[in-house]
Amino acid sequence: MNAATRTPGLNPPTAHLRVVSDRDAPTTPGIRLSGVSKTYRTRDGDVPSLRPLDFHINAGEFFVVVGPSGCGKSTLLKMISGLLPPSSGKIFVEGEAVTKPHGNVGIVFQNSLLLPWRNILNNVMLPIDMRRLSRKEYLPRAKSLIKLVGLEGFEKKLPWQLSGGMQQRASICRALVHDPKIILMDEPFGALDAMTRERMNVELMRIQRETGKTVLLITHSIPEAVFLADRVLVMTERPGAIAAIYDVPLPRPRSLDAMADPVFSELVQRIRKHFFSQSAID
C-alpha cells in the first residue's frame, strides 16, 4: 500500500477497506475450504455449529478469524487440522484433501498444554518424539527456536518454573519444531495479561516473517486480529458463517505503533459494527 492511498482527504476514508471474496483465490493456496459445514450430533439432538464455508488462505499468509464465543472457531480449526471430520464439504491443505490428522500443521491451543513432567526442551521436542523422527537431527532446530523466542537458558526448567507468557512461547516452538508449513493457533494468548499479550503479538509476527509460515490464528479480540493479520475473516454468531473478509493494508514490519494508524482504528471500528446487532463478543 503506498502512502498516498492513506493520506486523509485524498481518498474516501474507507476506500482501502476492501472486502475480499473467494474469487481472489490463487491456484495453489495454503488452505482451501469448499462448502465446509459442521453439525454436532449429540444425544440431545443436532447442534449446527458452522454453516457451509468457502474461503482460502494463501501460502505464507497471516490469516486471522475473529468471531463471537460459540460461533464455531475452534470447530473450524479442528477440522482444518484433521482432528474432526466436517459434516459436509472438503478441506485442502497445500492442495491435498484433509481426511485425517496430518503432519503438515503445527497447533497452538488456548492454554499452552505443556506436559508438566517434561522440561522445556523436551516439551518442544514432543512432536519429534511422537512422529519418531530423529532427535539428533531436530535438536539443533529446537534449540534455535527456543533462542528465537527468547527462552535460551530455560531448556532444563519445568513448565511451572516459567511464566504464562514463557510457557506460551514454548508451545509456539513446539508447534514449529517439526517444520510444518502451516501453523494453526486457537486463541493462543487468551490467558495472558494485556502487556504480555502485546509482546507475544509482536514476537509472533516476527517469527512468521522470519519463517515464512502460513498462519491461521483465531481470536475474539478485534484489535489483535487487525494488528496481526494480512486478512481478517469475520464470523457471525452460531451457526457461524462468513460475515466479511477484510484486507489489512498496514505496512510490515509492524510495531505497536501501527495501532495508532488511522487505518487500524477505522478497520477495528468497521469490524466492531458487525457485532453491534449481536450480543457482545465474549
Lookup: cell for 243: 460475515
- Interacting stretch for Mg ion, rule CB under 5 A, among 3-11, 70-78, 159-167, 168-176? 70-78
Asked if 74 is part of the footprint of Mg ion (rule: CB under 5 A), the reply reads: yes
**Within 13 Å of residue 232, how many CA atoms lie on the same side as its CB?**
28
Asked if 72 is part of the footprint of ligand ADP (rule: CB under 6 A), the reply reads: yes
DSSP state of 8: B
Residue from 40, 92, 109, 154 that binds ligand ADP (CB under 6 A)? 40
CB contact set of 245 (below 8 Å; sequence gap of 6+):
19, 20, 21, 55, 231, 232, 233, 234
**What is the nearest approach in angstroms of Mg ion to the Cβ of residue 77?**
8
DSSP H helices in the chain: 73-81, 120-124, 126-130, 135-148, 164-176, 194-211, 222-228, 262-272
Q: Cβ(256)–Cβ(206) under 8 Å?
A: no
Residues 212-251 that bind ligand ADP (CB under 6 A): 238
Comparing CB distances to ligand ADP, the nearer of 71 and 271 is 71
* Cα–Cα distance list, 214 to 154, 197, 239 (Å): 28, 21, 26
- Interacting stretch for ligand ADP, rule CB under 6 A, among 68-76, 87-95, 193-201, 250-258? 68-76
Asked if 42 is part of the footprint of ligand ADP (rule: CB under 6 A), the reply reads: yes
- Interacting stretch for ligand ADP, rule CB under 6 A, among 51-59, 63-71, 147-155, 260-268? 63-71
Asked if 181 is part of the footprint of ligand ADP (rule: CB under 6 A), the reply reads: no
**What is the nearest approach in angstroms of Mg ion to the Cβ of residue 190?**
9
Asked if 114 is part of the footprint of ligand ADP (rule: CB under 6 A), the reply reads: no
Asked if 58 is part of the footprint of Mg ion (rule: CB under 5 A), the reply reads: no
Q: Is 262 left (phi over 0), alpha (psi -120 to 50) or beta?
A: alpha
Comparing CB distances to ligand ADP, the nearer of 128 and 229 is 229
- Interacting stretch for ligand ADP, rule CB under 6 A, among 22-30, 71-79, 124-132, 254-262? 71-79
Residue from 52, 60, 70, 249 that binds ligand ADP (CB under 6 A)? 70
How far is Cα 282 from Cα 92, in angstroms, rounded to an integer? 30
* Cα–Cα distance list, 2 to 5, 6, 16, 251 (Å): 6, 7, 11, 9
**What is the nearest approach in angstroms of ligand ADP to the Cβ of residue 220?**
8
- Interacting stretch for Mg ion, rule CB under 5 A, among 65-73, 96-104, 202-210, 237-245? 65-73
Q: In what order do the strands lie in the sheet with 182-186?
A: 105-108, 182-186, 214-219, 62-66, 231-235, 242-247
Q: Which residues bind Mg ion (CB under 5 A)?
A: 73-74
Q: Which residues bind ligand ADP (CB under 6 A)?
A: 40, 42, 47, 49, 67, 69-75, 238
